[in-house]
Amino acid sequence: MKTEKIYSAGIDIGTSTTKMVVSSFLLKNVAGVTHVPRIEIIEKTVIHQSPIIKTPFINKEIIDMEKIEQFIFQQYQLAQISPADISTGAIIITGESATKDNASEVVHTIADTAGHFLVATAGPDLESIIAAKGAGTLQQSKNTAKVIANIDIGGGTANIAVMQFGEVIGTCTLHVGGRLIEFQNGIVQSVSPPIMKLMEKWSNPLKVGDSAEDERVTQLIQEMVDIVAMTLSGQITDERHPLLLGHLPTWDKPVEAIVFSGGVAACIYENDCTKRQYDDIGEKLAKKLLQHEQLQTFLWIKPEETARATVTGAGTQTTEISGATIQVDAEVLPLKNVPVFNCYLETNNKEFDYTVKTAVERADALFSSQENRSPFALYFSQLPYLSFQDVHALCQAILQYLATRSSKEIPIIIVIQSDYAKIIGQTIQAINQTVPIICIDQIKVETGDYIDIGEVLPSGVVPVVVKTLAFHSK
């Protein structure tokens, strides 16, 4: 039973810092000789961690892409890995950096030149999940069965993911971070827009030029910590709160334990901010979090990673491996940001035509505009037992409603949780040899997820990244 090694990279361009990890994954067929092959990642090894550098900017609104690219290629040299050797991984832009004028250009340019990256962007919900994985919190929730919140606090945002039994049950993002107020030579140099908004009702708000020791700085930090505690305790209900970024918390179970990750967490757990050479509120924010009475009512758990949680999660925890019995048109890979629609087939009802027709119509309404039809993946989560005639009928229904719209840009994309991918893919191609088809299995997704599918590996599988961008409480 041979093994196969692939390489992954994670790059995190944050508000304050940029960092990178390079990892190797060992793949192996874990099924017996007489069973259907099942390729799994049996070992993950971080082979290089970059230093943590200050995110380079040309000015307040433009990221210095050239310097970031130089940094990345330097790390590849140190890791003794070529970008062409990278099969999977993630490049994400987080916090305030995601709002800069050239944020999208930076991420997509680097994703195209620095390896076969599957994730080219991430929203705050996904960032919070990646950080929770990198910090080890997702695994802790499996081990303890407790409802645990991972709070990843960087320079611009606090990304919260709440999980239990290894499943994410909700997310929330706050404008809480070390760089929201910056100092220079003992005076306030900048105050971020969310903090300005928070002070709109103040009779005498803090402003640029005030002393760094001004009591209003302490008051603002206290408000940030209060909102973190209120969010974790289920007390935040105002969706227009100035420090809330996006939606209200989406978990419906009380949080029992908390884990902090991110740059500010390095000050919390390691009690050492000497390495953090930033003239901002990060250190004071960490101290206030430690001293907050309401936060002390939770069980505190130490993370496996603090400042490197997000980049470690991006580089080692975002990739899944498809089943080995798949059917893919290699020419149309890789595919990025493909939305998923669950086509649910009831066990006792094999009316494939109506079910597929309805799913395609609903997916089109969700994901396509009047001008453009977008590719989407139909997900069959619980296929009943299918005879050969059933497979043929299902494939004819898929072709009837998807073949006319298919092209190299819009292939037919089918995701199956069980092991039917090869037979369904081959049957579709036997009926119609001209349609490009991607049919993969052993992947679990939901309507509203997005997937990225990488190029075919030598073992015949494809790396898949499932990106759950939003959570809704049931």
Report domain extents, the chain. 3-121+314-319, 136-304, 325-458
Give the CATH number of domain 3-121+314-319. Answer: 3.30.420.40
Quick one: pLDDT at residue 33?
A: 62
* Selected residue with higher pLDDT from 133 and 34: 133
- Which of 188-192, 293-297, 414-418 has the weakest average pLDDT? 414-418
Residues 345-401: tens digit of each pLDDT: 765 556 788 889 988 888 888 776 555 667 899 998 777 788 888 899 999 999 999
Give the CATH architecture of domain 136-304.
2-Layer Sandwich (3.30)
The 3 state secondary structure assigned to the chain is CCEEEEEEEEEEECCCEEEEEEEEEEEEECCCCCCCCCEEEEEEEEEEECCCEECCEEECCEECHHHHHHHHHHHHHHHCCCHHHEEEEEEEECHHHHHCCCHHHHHHHHHHHCCCCCECCCCHHHHHHHHHHHCCHHHHHHHHCCCEEEEEECCCCEEEEEEECCEEEEEEEECCCCCCEEEECCEEEEECHHHHHHHHHCCCCCCCCCECCCHHHHHHHHHHHHHHHHHHCCCCCCCCCCCECCCCCCCCCCCCEEEEECHHHHHHHHCCCCCCCCCECHHHHHHHHHHCCCHHHCEECCCCCCCCHHHHHHHHCCEEECCCCCEECHHHCCEEEEEEEECCCCCCCCCHHHHHHHHHHHHHHHHCCCCCCCCCEEEECCCCCCCHHHHHHHHHHHHHHHHHHCCCCCCEEEEECCCCHHHHHHHHHHHCCCCCEEEEECCCCCCCEEEEECCCCCCCCCEEEEEECCCCCC
Q: How confident is the model at residue 273 (pLDDT cuts 50, 70, 90)?
A: low
pLDDT band of 473, cuts 50, 70, 90? very low
Residue 470 has a pLDDT of: 39
Q: What is the pTM of this model?
A: 0.79
Tens of pLDDT, residue by residue over 4-60, are 898 989 899 988 889 999 999 998 877 666 556 677 888 889 999 999 999 999 998
pLDDT (0 to 100) of residue 468: 62
> Do 3-121+314-319 and 136-304 have matching folds?
yes
pLDDT band, residue 322 (cuts 50/70/90): confident
Residue pLDDT, tens place only, 413-456? 999 887 788 899 999 999 998 899 999 988 888 777 788 888 89
